[in-house]
Amino acid sequence: MVKLQADLKKFEEAGAQVIAISYDPVDVLARFAEQKKITFLLVSDPDSKVIKAFGILNADAKGKAAGVPNPGTFLLDKEGVIRAKLFKGGFVQRPSNDELLNAIKEVK
């Protein structure tokens, strides 16, 4: 999320709105946003309803990690239609901002 914030202006100039969805509670996301200076929308999904709906629930995560998603990025158009899905595999591997910006240009 910090890397997305660093290039937020570029995403906005490309016509994109950045939104992050996390299974973390609102208070945790609020502290994170304040500490890391995140200004885009962070959505709390504590029951992982959206995570499950997008089919990205990490079924192997147990205990405190239950509900955690397999990280990925979805590009949706203004009507809410998914136009692209970007996944790298693994929890810490995410598409770079350049890859995301290129994907945004491709789906326009």
The CATH superfamily holding the domain 2-100 is Glutaredoxin (3.40.30.10)
Please, which residues bridge with residue 73 across strands?
A: 86
**Residues of the chain with pLDDT > 70: what percent?**
96
Domain ranges of the chain: 2-100
Whole-number pLDDT of residue 43: 94
Angle at 93 between CA 92 and CA 97, to 5 degrees: 115
Q: Using the predicted structure, report yes or no on whether residue 30 has a pLDDT greater than 70.
A: yes
Note the pLDDT tens digit of each residue in 78-89.
888 999 999 877
Burial environment of residue 100 by CB neighbours within 10 A (0 to 12, 13 to 18, 19 or more):
buried
